[in-house]
Amino acid sequence: MSTADPPLSVTLPGTWELLTRIDVTDAGEQRVDPSLGGDPVAMVIYDRSGHFAAQFMKRDRTASAVTDMPSAGANNSRAQGGYDAYFGTYEIDDSAGTVTHRLLGALSAENVGMVLTRRLQATDDRLTIRLRTTATTGEPVTRTLVWKRIG
């Protein structure tokens, strides 16, 4: 962030629609998360009082297309039936460019109470979230989510 850029605490609040969600290995190879697919539908809302809600859905949720994983990747929540949802509170560290999420409720019971810190960059109309997690094989990946502001 340059000194002229507004801080994350100013640019983050709003409603965001997912454009892309891509997992890449350390070797630069793309991996598709089978629980949500390569092109999920998603929305995340950050309000100005420190609350957030996120929902993700696999585009094809027919029985043959849905893959339930017994556990989530590292540093991540677990989808069920091609869907993932959670909500809670968040705190921004403007100097580090991170947001710490505290999950008060979640679709998967084991995710309730999780604390997840993510590196975020938000401008007027784009939000980028990067995190380290693991593919279903346990292989480390970097997940990059790009969102468009819709409200």
The pLDDT tens digits of the residues spanning 87-136 come to: 999 999 999 999 999 999 999 999 999 999 999 999 889 999 999 999 88
pLDDT value of residue 13:
97
Report if residue 2 sits inside a domain: no
Helix (H) or strand (E) holding 124: none
The residues, any chain, with a CB within 8 Å of residue 135's CB and separated by 6 or more, are 23, 25, 31, 33, 73, 141
The residue type found at 114 is M
pLDDT value of residue 25:
96
- Paired with 16 in beta bridges are 44, 149
Total number of domains constituting the chain: 1
Domain holding 117, by residue range, is: 8-149
What CATH code is carried by the domain that includes residue 111? 2.40.128.280
Report if residue 3 sits inside a domain: no
| Residue 9 pLDDT grade (very low, low, confident, very high; cuts 50, 70, 90) | very high
Burial of 82 (0-12, 13-18, 19+ CB in 10 A): buried
Output the DSSP codes for 65-113. T----SSPPTTS---BTTEEEEEEEEEEETTTTEEEEEEEEESSGGGTT
pLDDT value of residue 61:
86
Which tens digits make up the pLDDT trace of 30-68?
Answer: 999 888 999 999 999 999 999 999 999 999 988 777 776
Tell which residue, 79, 69, 62, has the closest CA to residue 138.
Answer: 69
